[in-house]
Amino acid sequence: MSITKILFVCLGNICRSPMAEGTFRHLVLEKGLQHLVEIDSAGTGAWHVGEPPDHRATATALLRGIDLSGQAARKVKQQDFEHYDYILAMDQENHINLTRIAPEEYRHKIRMFLEFAPDQSETEVPDPYYGGGDGFEHALDLVDAASRGLLAEIEG
Ligand code: 4NP
């Protein structure tokens, strides 16, 4: 079976897409399917390039046994559109920005991540960066549901 390459994308690559990368990788390792996938994350913005994930994302993920250490923010680059099979946007704005910069032949690879969580009432992972409360918990719940759906599609 060939390797499926997946890129998770948000705005800053320090909150949502690192949680998606960590959650999906955790699930893949749990199922022993790491030979089937290549996983990374990136941001459409460059403000946080080189930084580790936001400490709130790291702490919330760790409570679920998901390790985000070792990740560092990077910006989406042109080669990503050719390289990855799935380019998964956390929200509509990310989707629009990705579509704007992608070569036309690769635009079909850009999808909303929550397409893989059809049972959820939301279609976007809300940006938890400026919010308080349970924003990171909620984002992780959505990311977890979509990760399971995505893995089921890849396995199938
Ligand atoms: P993310 O969250 O897109 O989920 O990584 C954000 C992080 C930083 C900023 C915005 C969103 N920012 O404006 O710096």
pLDDT in tens, 91-142: 999 999 999 999 999 999 999 999 999 999 999 999 999 987 799 999 999 9
- Token pair of 80, please? 């990503």
For residues 82 and 70, give the distance between their C-alpha atoms in angstroms, rounded to a whole number.
25
DSSP 121: S
Residue 124: phi, psi to the nearest 5? -130, 150
Specify whether 15 is catalytic.
Answer: no
CATH 3.40.50.2300 fits domain 4-155: yes
Mean pLDDT of 14-30: 98
Whole-number Å distance, alpha carbon 10 to ligand 1 midpoint, is: 8
Asked if residues 10 and 88 have their Cβ atoms less than 8 Å apart, the reply is no
For residues 45 and 75, give the distance between their C-alpha atoms in angstroms, rounded to a whole number.
6
- Token pair of 116, please? 């893989």
Specify whether 107 is catalytic.
Answer: no
Question: Whole-structure pTM over 0.95, yes or no?
Answer: yes
Does residue 54 register a pLDDT over 70? yes
For residues 132 and 51, give the distance between their C-alpha atoms in angstroms, rounded to a whole number.
21
pLDDT score, position 47: 97
Angle between helices 135-155 and 16-30 (to 10 degrees): 50
Specify whether 40 is catalytic.
Answer: no
Whole-number Å distance, alpha carbon 129 to ligand 1 midpoint, is: 6
Ligand 1 atom at shortest distance from the alpha carbon of 18: 5
- Token pair of 131, please? 């919010």
For residues 38 and 58, give the distance between their C-alpha atoms in angstroms, rounded to a whole number.
21
> Residue 17 contacts by C-beta under 8 Å, 6 or more apart in sequence?
8, 9, 10, 41, 42, 43, 90
CB of residue 12 inside a 6 A radius of ligand 1: yes
CB of residue 16 inside a 6 A radius of ligand 1: yes
CB of residue 47 inside a 6 A radius of ligand 1: yes
Nearest alpha carbon, ligand 1 atom 13: 12
Does residue 1 register a pLDDT over 70? no
